[in-house]
Amino acid sequence: MSFSDYFCSETWRESEMHRRFKDLLLPKTPQELENLAQQARQLTWQNFGKTMRLFAPLYLSNECVNACEYCGFSRDNESIVRVTLSPEQVETEARYLVNEGFRSLLLVAGEHPKFVSQSYLRECLDRLHTFVPSLSLEIGPMETADYLPLVKAGAEGLVVYQETYDREIYAELHTAGPKKDFDWRLNCAERAYEAGFKRLGIGALFGLADWRVEALALAAHVDYLLKHCWKSFLTVSLPRLRPAAGEFAPLTRLDDRDLTQLICALRLAFPQVGLVLSTREPQRLRDGLIPLGITHMSAGSHTEPGGYTGAGKEKVHHTVRGKAMPVIASEGEHKPATEQFAIADARSPKEVAQRLQEMGYDPVWKDWDQRLN
């Protein structure tokens, strides 16, 4: 039974895990929350030590055939500046990030079969895997057979967020493109597992549906994948909506206290799952959440293609009903591609690593090598 069948059957609501996780999400007094935090801290140290894996997103393309109301790259945002980096330009960006210390990169792209094709991705991976030990992908969902060559070319992780586990809200927010198919996306992690990805990343985008309802469904997904895709390491992300082109206003709120409780709840329910915190969150909050369960952090991120080195700026354009249109910029000036969302923690990778060390943590730049395979 696939996760989408299990999720439809609603039997997951009768499980012991569901009952326990629901209790962890109930409103807590300050003392109760402090108790949860202490247990979460202890479990994180037991399972991961005082370490933090650092990674950087590398955006390949901001072209997209989907209409997702909350995303700056949505195909309906015709005014944004778009570009797809050539494999050479992707290498330029990757070499910059390696020079910054990173050995783990997440290659991110909008869903566009023409610009971000399987062969394009393979070429990027071929160029990068000789000098970047850990490469993961955050791209449009594919069939298992289409993932196989990407795994062979060196991709070891696949990240796909369901965005929202509420079918009705999902249908309202995804109005065009292949992403409209809720179940196709929901079963993506299983297809990736069959193809041999060693790391699977899932998550929900908080700000679309009630956070507790969303978190319960996300926990059911984690529980299912731990049982059915147990050979892969699983990570969970809890991104909150950030300002982006299109200016979509969050429909619901997950405040800092609730986010803290959710991180503690996930750590208590799933002690060995990786928890990811991105630069969407501000410095002070990120530092405060480090001991409570976070195991993976991005640093110094750019969310636009070419954001690290300016690569690709000569090819930028608008995409209007599928056609490339020139960008009007002042003479001699190249407009950069539009970012997916604004980041909140602008510290450099070095500053983040330094802060981790001050807090007694080891920043881990590399934890995987192909030769260990």
Q: Between 179 and 240, whose beta carbon lies closer to ligand SF4?
A: 179
139 binds ligand SF4 (CB under 6 A): no
Q: Which range touches ligand SF4 (CB under 6 A), out of 66-74, 84-92, 224-232, 253-261? A: 66-74
Output 111 or 281, the one with its CB closest to ligand SF4: 111
Min separation Cβ 164 and ligand SF4, Å: 12
Q: Is 282 helix (H, G, I), strand (E, B) or coil?
A: coil
Helix, strand, coil abundance in the chain, percent, nearest 5: 40, 15, 40
Contact map string, positions 299 to 318, toward ligand SF4, x by CB under 6 A: --------------------
Taking CB under 6 A as the rule, does residue 278 contact ligand SF4?
no
- For residue 296, the minimal CB distance to ligand SF4 (Å) is 20
Instruction: Return the number of the residue (145 or 176) whose C-beta is nearest ligand SF4.
Output: 176
Candidate residues 61, 74, 260, 338; the one interacting with ligand SF4 per rule CB under 6 A: 74
Contact region with ligand SF4 (CB under 6 A), list: 70-78, 141-149, 284-292, 300-308: 70-78
Is 84 one of the binding residues for ligand SF4 (CB under 6 A)? no
Q: Each residue of 333-361: b (16+ CB within 10 Å) or e?
A: ebebbbbbbebbbebebeebbebbeeeeb
Annotate 294-358 with DSSP letters as a single string.
--EEE-S---STTTTT-TTGGG-BEEETTEEE-----TT-PPPPPPSS--S----HHHHHHHHHH
Place of tokens 């807090």: 359
Given a contact cutoff of 8 angstroms between Cβ atoms, the answer to whether 359 and 290 are in contact is: yes
The sign of the dihedral angle between the CA atoms of 248, 67, 170, 184 is negative
What is the signed CA dihedral for 341, 88, 140, 210, rounded to 10 degrees? -20
Q: What part of residues 94-113 is at the interface with ligand SF4 (CB under 6 A)?
A: 110-111
φ, ψ of residue 36 to 5 degrees: the values are -60, -45
Contact pick of 43, 68, 219, 297 for ligand SF4 (by CB under 6 A):
68
Nearer to ligand SF4 (CB atom), residue 137 or residue 289? 137
167's enclosing H/E stretch is: helix 167-173
CB 44 to ligand SF4: min, Å: 30
64 lies in the site for ligand SF4, by CB under 6 A:
yes
Closest CB 176 distance from ligand SF4, rounded Å: 10
* Residue 198 CB, nearest approach to ligand SF4 (Å): 23
For ligand SF4, the binding residues (CB under 6 A) are 64, 66, 68, 71, 73-74, 110-111, 179
